[in-house]
Structure 1
Amino acid sequence: MTARTGAETGLVGRLSMLDRLLPAWIMVAMAAGLGLGRAVPGLDDVLSAVEVGGVSLPIAVGLLVMMYPVLAKVRYDRLDTVTGDRRLMVSSLLLNWVVGPAVMFALAWVFLPDLPEYRTGLIIVGLARCIAMVIIWNDLACGDREAAAVLVALNSVFQVVAFGALGWFYLKVLPGWLGLATDDLHLSTGKIVVNVLVFLGVPLAAGYFTRRAGEGARGRDWYENRFLPRVGPVALYGLLFTIVVLFALQGETITDRPYDVARMAVPLLMYFAVMWGGAFIVGRAVRLAYARTATLAFTAAGNNFELAIAVAIGTFGVTSGQALAGVVGPLVEVPVLVALVYVSLWVRRRTEARTIDA
């Protein structure tokens, strides 16, 4: 048994304290937001006093802070290391940009046909492909680190280019083709594009140039082991700030309709399970080794909930159901993907045992 396999029993212990307790931090932020909303009447007017493109300035800053550390971690120089593996690249592109959005679209319409705002929010979550936490899940599951770095970089760039078009297709065009009523959805595709460019494009450029400048001036070892650990927690602080504000403004809706929040969790649970399991089957079917199969599965199942929240708030407003759906995403995703890491390691042990027996 390898040393890495032997450490599986301490899997949760290998997460940083912040990552390990992420669901708990989110719950605390939700509770704090609900309390703040009751304690400070008129908070909405205070936050709206200064707006940028229809988004409250404090919230806009929180969203950008939330995205930047994530994109500063991406290894943009690794694009050529695994792009020669056509089986991995084609499978990943199809799963992330064809299958994933379609699966979330179907689940959202099946489980939330009468809740258009939450349904739209989940579809936006499905369009925001994972670019951050997947590196953690991939490492814990003994996946291919280089392949994960490449797929994360590709997803980052592809989202800037394709998110707006996919949002237009899944929120306006496809429902019309299928005869689904969307009269209750007032959507500006241009606004989605602008928000993606601002809340993903700006931190993406900042992350890219930070890495280039940091590695050029101080070296990769300093950047990876000194700089990133310092700025990494900032993403969580930005996320928690956004959640506090969102729940402060939505407190009455949330406390009056907790069943709706539970209903959103059901399609999310199904989505993560279907995408992870389907990707794992695809990886084995095209004869990828375990490490790259695990990487394929986690990059397909995870979502960029930071971007989903940013787009939902920027497009529909901080008090919208779409924004609330974006927050429910990480609350469900984190514990589910931790559980799937254990499943993945179990598959790895079974695979190794069969190889030895053969």
Structure 2
Amino acid sequence: MGVFERYLSVWVGLAIIAGILAGLAIPGAFAVIASWEYAHVNIAVGLLIWLMIYPMMVQVDFGSIRDVGRNPRGLVLTLVINWLIKPFTMALLGWLFFRVIFVDWVDPQTAGEYIAGMILLGVAPCTAMVFVWSQLTKGDANYTLVQVSINDVIMIFAFAPIAGLLLGISDIHVPWDTLLLSVVLYVLVPLLAGVWTRHRLDRADDHSRLNAFLARMKPWSILGLLATVVLLFGFQAETILARPLAIVLIAIPLLIQTYGIFAITYVMALKLQLPHNVAAPACLIGTSNFFELAVAVAISLFGLHSGAALATVVGVLVEVPVMLSLVWFANRTRDRFNKAAA
């Protein structure tokens, strides 16, 4: 494991601090970057997210889907959690906290935007960081690849309808054209580009060209991640410092969702008697979010300085330390899974 993976929380933490400081020091520069928009899509954020996502999409091997028959239970668990449970529990928690529990602390319009940001996080299952979490738990790399590949295919068709349904139920206006455009830009295009690149480089008997390409792209993907974090927290710097209570209010349901979904998936994995190298990535895939997609769509739908964008940025703030705590727990309980699978 490289230096980046070992100290992931440190780099992201430093990027968050750098973004806030830069946003306060040179707000004019961030205002100019925020104005670079086309069709409600911020060009700078879009380019950085493509830089992040594209190398991950190259790793997706649709040929590996045929191997799913060797242990379909792990895949079924991932799909049930990601598409039948997680989006709806996130929407429910958003409504419960911002329409009921926190109703006296947040105005209705802002509350609706916070709920929208949470919904977008809940409908976007993790793609890029999954490989890091899987590696940290010594997961089955090939099986993780299968889970990610099938999730990405489903995301093309399911993200917009489920997001639109839950946003509509929450009385939030759904600009369908922007939502569909976001799916094309941030899921379909990088996925097709990744498939085309893999087809050109990969050979059945020789993966050296593909591996060399991925090694060259990895630093750029890392740079894209850190630059995106700096940019997002730079955009929200004044809001974060002016409204620290808002950060806490958003973080509470996100933490409950994250630990709650992990607990549900963990218990189900034990009941299904999955081996640890399949169960751990399944639990972490279901728990974490494709925050790059959620952030990009929130910005496209509601704007850079909206409550929805802030909610997705808080998702970034919460995710890394929480996921590392769950990685620790999954590794500490490795024997439980291996005994159950024996």
- Give, in angstroms, the shift of residue 352 of structure 1: 4.8
What does residue 205 of structure 1 align with?
192
In 2, distance between residues paired with 1:149 and 1:41?
41
- Give, in angstroms, the shift of residue 304 of structure 1: 0.9
What does residue 72 of structure 1 align with?
58
Percent identity for Structure 1 against Structure 2:
33
In 1, distance between residues paired with 2:50 and 2:250?
26
Alignment of structure 1 residues 124-203 onto 2, 5 Å: 124-172=120-168, 174-175=169-170, 182=171, 185-203=172-190
What does residue 46 of structure 2 align with?
60
Compared CA separation, residues 312 and 83, structure 1 to 2 (3 A):
farther
Q: Which amino acid aligns with 2:15?
A: A
Residues 77-115 of structure 1, C-alpha deviations (whole Å, 9 max, x = no match): 201111454433332221110111112112222233342
What does residue 300 of structure 1 align with?
286
What does residue 232 of structure 2 align with?
246
Do structure 1's residue 266 and structure 2's residue 268 form an aligned pair? no
In 1, distance between residues paired with 2:273 and 2:4?
36
In 1, distance between residues paired with 2:337 and 2:36?
57
Which deviates the most, 48-57 or 157-166?
48-57
Unaligned runs of 5+ in 1: 1-13, 176-181
Instruction: Let me know the Cα RMSD of the aligned residues.
Output: 2.5
Kept in 2, the 8 Å contact 1:78–1:146? The answer is: yes
- Give, in angstroms, the shift of residue 44 of structure 1: 5.5
Secondary structure at the counterpart of residue 112 of structure 1: helix
- Give, in angstroms, the shift of residue 342 of structure 1: 2.2
Alignment of structure 1 residues 77-96 onto 2, 5 Å: 77-83=63-69, 85-96=71-82
Which deviates the most, 347-356 or 80-89?
347-356
Do structure 1's residue 341 and structure 2's residue 316 form an aligned pair? no
Kept in 2, the 8 Å contact 1:246–1:319? The answer is: no
Residues 55-88 of structure 1, C-alpha deviations (whole Å, 9 max, x = no match): 2322321222122122122222201111454433
What does residue 103 of structure 2 align with?
none
In 2, distance between residues paired with 1:301 and 1:18?
21
Aligned length: 332
Unaligned runs of 5+ in 2: 100-105
Residues 189-241 of structure 1, C-alpha deviations (whole Å, 9 max, x = no match): 221111111111111111111111111499313422x2212212322322332
Q: Which runs of 4+ in 1 moved over 6 A?
A: 353-356
Kept in 2, the 8 Å contact 1:167–1:189? The answer is: no
Residues 252-299 of structure 1, C-alpha deviations (whole Å, 9 max, x = no match): 221110121122222222222111221121122233333322232122
Kept in 2, the 8 Å contact 1:101–1:127? The answer is: yes
Alignment of structure 1 residues 215-226 onto 2, 5 Å: 215-216=202-203, 219-224=206-211, 226=212
Compared CA separation, residues 247 and 307, structure 1 to 2 (3 A):
same
Do structure 1's residue 328 and structure 2's residue 314 form an aligned pair? yes
What does residue 279 of structure 1 align with?
265
Q: TM-score, normalised by structure 2?
A: 0.88
Compared CA separation, residues 324 and 232, structure 1 to 2 (3 A):
farther
Residues 313-357 of structure 1, C-alpha deviations (whole Å, 9 max, x = no match): 22222222222222222332222222222222222224557899x
Q: TM-score, normalised by structure 1?
A: 0.84
Q: Which amino acid aligns with 2:13?
A: M
Compared CA separation, residues 17 and 171, structure 1 to 2 (3 A):
same
Residues 135-159 of structure 1, C-alpha deviations (whole Å, 9 max, x = no match): 2222322333222110100111111
Kept in 1, the 8 Å contact 2:34–2:42? The answer is: yes
Compared CA separation, residues 199 and 287, structure 1 to 2 (3 A):
same
